[in-house]
Amino acid sequence: MVNSSQVRKLFENFSSYRVLIVGDVMIDSYMFGKVERISPEAPIPIVTSTHKENRLGGAANVALNIKSLGATPLLCSVIGKDEKADVLLKRLETQGISPEGLVQTTKRKTT
């Protein structure tokens, strides 16, 4: 079992770690809006979109969390050569996460 001093030491040294993350990377898309009425056909809110956001999802979100804790994430995954891949690469660049471990292929779509 790990004791509290071991956990403390782990986090004190976290900035010196390089953490390998292997998995599916994706873009999480969020739509924000206001509910102005309820549909007369069913009890479903009708939402008027005010704005949208794209955020790093899946393994890319794990890499972002590792970076926020101070370590260096090494992200490995396969992405497509498509518009979502462009968004993903731009978000990684904005967050200071290297795309070096990503493989791009036309045989796969970025999710």
Beta-carbon contacts of residue 63 (< 8 Å; ≥ 6 apart)? 21, 56, 73, 75, 92, 97
Question: What is the pLDDT at residue 37?
Answer: 93
The per-residue pLDDT for range 33-85, each reduced to its tens digit, is 999 899 999 999 999 999 999 999 999 999 999 999 999 999 999 999 999 99
For the chain, give every domain's residue range.
14-28+55-105
% residues pLDDT > 90 (the chain):
90
Question: What is the pLDDT at residue 1?
Answer: 86
Residue 101 to residue 104: CA distance in whole angstroms:
10
State which amino acid sits at residue 67.
Answer: K
Of 64, 62, 54, 50, the closest CA to residue 95 belongs to 64
